[in-house]
Structure 1
């Protein structure tokens, strides 16, 4: 069955005052109707299209907005952007005509294309097509935009802020207080305690050297004792004992069997390679 031939009609607009115009027309049957309004002056032209649907629910406006508007505030000069370049059909944009009229393909009213639009390659879509395609337009405004981006990446640790706690002496972990990666620690927190026979003997040497230094009454021999204390202290420092541990050792006067090793900085444990025992 062939398609029904398009129905066309024209109506005159009556000035109703205050910039309003009245147009009376009769919609002979139900369905979708496109109303094209053309206004022309010697210096400007404007076209607006509206799509109406007639059905059991009555008359419904599907959509409509101005398609082409030329500036009517000033006369168009030759070659100006407000001058009409050609007339075309919204449904068949390949149609170009030098004067107003009807489309030779669908008999719709031709609409003007201004020179600015022709140079810019503006594409016009009829309101009824915009409604079917779901195209919406809005005024351009300056506003913040929330944009969520999902992308793959690799998380790297800042190497300048890494702190490694490594033993420089053999021994046994007697108590492991940080027993999982991802655990948070603060500066000075005890990470583990170490029992080391070699470290225990070095602590005894340090205490004996200090005791000998304190007991020496002959001023001529104090230099030798000072050297022994410094040597014993240097050995303990090389094994990662800090000032607070050396002071605690000297204050106690006895070697510490299980030496605590503390965190040099606050942060999160990202790798653990020791276990109890």
Structure 2
């Protein structure tokens, strides 16, 4: 410490020996004094802050606490020593240091929400981006049982609702037309000849049954065959 003082004294004598040294010493001294005064004035006043105290007040006495730091409690208003916010009044209910009763204004300020305790499964919503697609297990494909041409298409755009039994298309098929003519000719031949066999040993009723079976194999139902 004495060595530092000697250095400072030598530096002061050096400045004093210079023509401008006196003015520099006055300027430095004024700056140091101003800095000390500014620090004293800007220091917080001890009576404005409140330290946390473990002592409890009597039941029913109004206490002051911080809305952000409930552990700060004081019997008089002031500032929170942690966040420097104004203390708010809270009335102690006598349930101990950890039991506090807040006013409705304090509850609204702190945005406190309470719910009854219950045992249940925890659910969490997750928002995700996806694409809606068809259920492949519910898709059905319709194919023609006979060759031919489409004369009219009823399902002509994607998304049309189709119910069971609705008409899908009108189809013209030479193969189906020939099978229909065979049934008509067999029915015409079977009139009055129910038991007389043909050259192949088939009765007229056998020819009718064969023609109907052929139409079933081509995809016609029994109701459609009866309409023929």
TM-score calculated relative to the size of structure 1: 0.44
Deviations 1:243-266 (A, max 9, x none): 2211111xxxxxxxxxxxxxxxxx
User: 1:8 — aligned with what?
Assistant: 50
1:32 and 2:72 are equivalent in the alignment: no
1:46 aligns with 2:94: no
Q: Which has the higher helix share?
A: 2
Q: Distance in 1 between matches of 2:99 and 2:76?
A: 17
| More strand per residue | 1
1:172 to 2:149 alignment = yes
* 1:169/1:199 contact within 8 Å kept: yes
Is residue 149–residue 171 contact of structure 2 (8 Å, CA) maintained in 1?
yes
168, 191, 208: which one aligns with 2:185: 208
Please give the per-residue CA displacement for 1:185-222, whole angstroms capped at 9, x wherever unaligned. 222211111111221111101111121122315x2428
Which runs of 5 or more residues in structure 2 are unaligned?
1-38, 64-74
Contact 2:187 2:208 in 1 (8 A): yes
Q: Which has the larger radius of gyration?
A: 2
Q: What secondary structure is seen at the aligned counterpart in 2 of 1:46?
A: coil
Distance in 1, matches of 2:98 and 2:226, equals 93
Structure 1 regions of 5+ residues with no counterpart?
Answer: 52-60, 65-127, 250-277
Question: How many aligned positions are there?
Answer: 162
Q: Would the aligned equivalents of 1:34 and 1:50 in 2 still touch at CA under 8 Å? A: no
1:28-65 alpha-carbon deviations (Å, 9 max, x no partner): 9xx6234799x9x9xx84246799xxxxxxxxx6569x
3-state SS of paired residue (2:197): helix
Indicate how the Cα distance of structure 1 residues 156 and 176 shifts in structure 2: closer, same or farther if over 3 A, else same.
closer
Q: Does 1:224 align with 2:203?
A: yes
Name 2:222's counterpart in structure 1: 243
Q: Is the 8 A contact 2:186 2:211 kept in 1?
A: yes
Q: 3-state DSSP class of the match of 2:191?
A: helix
Deviation at 1:230, TM superposition (A): 2.1
